[in-house]
Amino acid sequence: MKLPAKIKVGYAAYSCEVWLGNKARGNLGETDLVKHTMRIRLEDVALAEIANTLLHEIFHAIYSVFHVKNSDLEEEVVAKMSTGFQCVLQDNPALVKWLVEYLKRAP
């Protein structure tokens, strides 16, 4: 199953790219917050790990777009992240479908 081509996070549309193992240097994912790009490694990675990695990268984007700061209190961080994630789910029905299908196939 292919990655979603774009994921909208607040005002920013992030493109998703397959990250080839030799370029990934052992990493599973990477988000470029300036170029609005997410790279996800697919080869030799379990399905559940791929879905988890994509969610991880989405949370990096939410952290940036919604201006979460290290000095925020836990409740403020959770409120910003949950609001951001709700926006991501509402704005990206194809992503929701992708996650459900991918996780169904995971052991």
Sheet containing 37-40: order of strands: 6-9, 12-18, 37-40, 29-32
Across 10-24, 31-45, 80-94, least confident range: 10-24
**Contact (Cβ atoms closer than 8 angstroms) between residue 99 and residue 22:** no
Task: Give the predicted TM-score (pTM) of the model.
Answer: 0.84
For residues 85 and 91, the answer to whether their CB atoms sit within 8 Å is: no
pLDDT > 90 fraction of the chain, expressed in percent and rounded: 64
Q: Give residue-wise pLDDT tens across range 38-48.
A: 999 998 889 88
